[in-house]
Chain A
Amino acid sequence: MHLSPDEVILWQYCFIKLNATIVSTWGLMLVLVIGSMLVTHKLFAGARRTRGQNFLEIIVSSIRKQIDEIGIDHPERYIGFLGTLFLFVATAAFGTIIPAYEPPTGSLSTTVALALCVFVAVPLYGIADQGLAGYLKSYVEPTALMLPFNIISELSRTLALAVRLFGNMMSGTMIIAILLTITPFLFPIVMTALGLLTGMVQAYIFSILAAVYMAAAMRTRQPQAESASTTENTNN
C-alpha cells in the first residue's frame, strides 16, 4: 500500500523516473485537449447542435455564471484559468471509475503545483486590475498592523488549498484500498461512488476558493458598486 501515485514507478532510466502521477496527468491533459478540439473544430450557431457542443456549452456557461455570482466583473477574462483548474481537478476525480487509475491530485506534488498557480495568479490579476500600488495597498487595508497577518494568510491559504485537495483525494484511494482487503465486494463500490461525489465537491471548492481569493485581490470596485446600488435602493 502506498501513500501517493508518486511511488508507482512505471519506467526508469538512470535518474529519470516516470511515475504514475506524470502519466495520468499527461493522459488527462490529452483527454481534455483532444476532446475539446474534437468538439470545437466545427461549431454550429443554429438550433441544431452536436451533443458535444451542448455539453461543453453547459459546462462553460455554468462556470461563467458561478464566477459572475462571486462578484468578479468580467468573468470571461478569468474563465480560462479558473475553468481549467475546475476541469482538471474534476476530470482527475472522475477518472477513478477506470480500474487501476490513480488520480494525480492524490499526490502532494500535483496539488502543490495547482496551489502555486493560484498563489502566483492572484497577485497578477490583482495588479492587472487595480495597479501595483492599489494591490499593495490591500495588504495594509484595515491598518498597517495587519500587514504581517495578511502575508501569513496569503501563505497559509496556499498550503491549505494544496493539503485539502491532497488529503481528500488521497483518503478516497486509501479507504478503497483498505476496504478491498477487508470486505472485497460491495463496500469498495459504494466508497468509489462516494469518492466521485467528494471529488466533484473538491473540484468545485478548489476553483471557488481560487475565485474568492482573486475577487478579494480585486475588491476595490466591489464596495463602490454595492454602495451605489444601496444608495439607489434608498433613493427608490
Chain B
Amino acid sequence: MDSMTAIAVASIVTAGLTTGLGVVGPALGEGRSVATALTSLAQQPDASSTITRTLFVGLAMIESTAIYCFVISMILIFANPFWNHVIALTTGK
C-alpha cells in the first residue's frame, strides 16, 4: 500500500469513526437534559420560559461538541490537508 492509499483509507475510516463515536456522548447528554427539563416543566409550568431558554442554551453547548466532530470529519473528507499535500508532491514531481 503506497502512501496515497494509506492516507485515503485512514482519512475515510477516521471520518466515519469521528462522527460515529463523537455523536454518542452528546446524544446521551442531550437526552438527559431534555428529560430533566421536561420533568421540571411538568412540575413548574410557571417557569416554562426560563426553563426553555436555559434548555436551548444548554443544548447548544452540548450539541457543539458533536458539531466539532462533524466539522472534523467533513474536513477529513472534503478539505484534507494531508491529501492535498501528497497531491501537490506527486504533481510537483
Contacts and interface: CB of A to CB of B under 8 A. Distances in A.
B74 A205 contact: no
B56 interface: yes
Interface string A1-45: 111000000000000000000000000000000000000000000
Interface in A160-205: 160, 163-164, 166-168, 170-171, 174, 201, 204-205
A212 interface: yes
B64 A3 contact: no
Give the interface residue-count category, chain A: 20 to 34
B67 interface: yes
Contacts of B68: 163, 167
A208 B53 contact: yes
Given A69-B49, A174-B74, A168 B67 contact: yes
A69 B57 contact: no
B67 A167 contact: yes
A209 interface: yes
Given A1-B78, A164-B64, A201 B70 contact: no
A196 B64 CA distance: 18
A3 B49 contact: no
Contact of A205 (B49, B60, B71, B79): B60
Given A3-B79, A209-B60, A163 B71 contact: yes
Contact of A167 (B53, B61, B70, B78): B70
B84 to A, nearest CB: 13
Interface string A146-172: 000000000000001001101110110
By CB atoms of chain B within 10 A, which of A2, A163, A164, A208 has the most? Answer: A164
B36 to A, nearest CB: 19
